[in-house]
Amino acid sequence: MTIMDVERPVVGPLDRTARVYVAGHRGLVGSAICRLLRAEGFTDVVGWSSRELDLRDRDAVFRRFEEMRPDVVIDAAARVGGIMANSTYPADFLSDNLRMQTNILDAAAAQRVPRLLFLGSSCIYPKFAAQPIREESLLTGALEPTNDAYAIAKIAGILGIQAVRRQYGLAYISAMPTNLYGPGDNFHPQHSHVLPAMMRRFHEAKLGGLPAVTCWGSGTPRREFLHVDDLAAACLHLLETYDSPDTINIGSGTDHTIAQIADMMAETVGYDGDIHWDASKPDGTPRKLLDVSRLKATGWKPEIPLSEGLRETYAWFLDNQDKFRR
């Protein structure tokens, strides 16, 4: 089939009776997307756990796509982790993510699924990209070594979207979220990202009456954070308004130093001890703030301030500690 054989759908409101497959529906991002879709009136939202469908198994993925015949696919599935996990298991991060996203994309193209959104990560951009980071910065410099394997997998996903558009004419798009947080996050002490790791560390220090908490690095790197419910809203907005081979950033447009984040976290948790910094541990990228002007031009902006989002996330944390991965 060539690009001329496919009638491109008109961008606009999605049919609320359409079958929407959310890959990674139990994760932080996927669960937020499912919550939003159901709240918005979608009646046929489907997903399978990794035990029910191993997305690394190409034959299994193709069979499932043939059976379910989705109208929309949102690829929020990924093997993710913080600096320690990415540094320790780079081969696993590269292999697992490449296989999962390639199988989903190829199976969707084989079934000529009309609409697909691939979600990547802001780590795709060069370590020393000009700030704020524009989408055009992709592939213009060296990556941050602590997560380069994961980043390469996500870059391959963007190019995969562009290749499918060129070859089949399908209206597939990709979006690159900034650092995310919110209800449903992974609070594992070694394999979580910075916000949930800090939240758990400060919470346990408060319960234990510890006089100080030690955080990784110098505290000087700057990071941008977006509540996962805002991301979910942005995903639906893009599926209904955006049709371009160019990837698009999703972020808040503001950032803070890691030291400022630690102070905010201590206040959120109610910890009044000291905060120490272990400069022998890696800082990662010095700054990572996304340019979100392309997204703003589509008419979307986030609604949840960081302070409010942290309070909400901590409340969820307190109510769900028995569910955390240890």
Q: Select from 98, 238, 240 the least CA-distant residue to 156.
A: 98
Whole-number Cα distances in Å, 202 to 96, 137, 179: 32, 36, 20
Q: Is 53 annotated as a binding residue?
A: no
Q: Note whether 45 and 51 are within 8 A (CB).
A: no
d(CA 101, CA 183): 24
- Asked if 242 is an active-site residue, the reply is no
User: Does 186 count as an annotated binding residue?
Assistant: no
Do the annotations mark residue 121 as ligand-binding? yes
Residue 227 known to bind ligand: no
Is 300 assigned to a binding site? no
Alpha-carbon distance of 288 to 47, in angstroms, equals 32
Residue 29 annotated as binding? yes
* Count of CB atoms situated within 10 Å of the CB of 176: 25
179 assigned to a ligand binding site: yes
Would you say 24 is a known binding-site residue?
yes
Decide: 204 and 319 in contact? Cβ < 8 Å. Answer: no
Please check whether residue 21 is in contact with residue 48, taking contact to mean a CB–CB distance below 8 angstroms. no
201 is in an annotated binding site: yes
Active-site residue, from 150, 168, 172, 271: 150
311 is known to lie in a ligand binding site: no
Beta-bridge partners for 276: 214
Which residues touch 87 (CB under 8 Å, ≥6 apart)?
146, 147, 282
258-269 vs 194-208: helix axis angle to the nearest 10?
Answer: 40
Known binder of ligand: residue 223?
yes
**Residue 290, annotated as binding a ligand:** no
Binding-site residues, in ranges, read 24-30, 119-122, 154, 177-180, 193, 201, 216, 223, 283
Binding-site residues for NADP(+), in ranges, read 24-30, 119-122, 154, 177-180, 193
Active site amino acids: 150
Binding-site residues for substrate, in ranges, read 201, 216, 223, 283
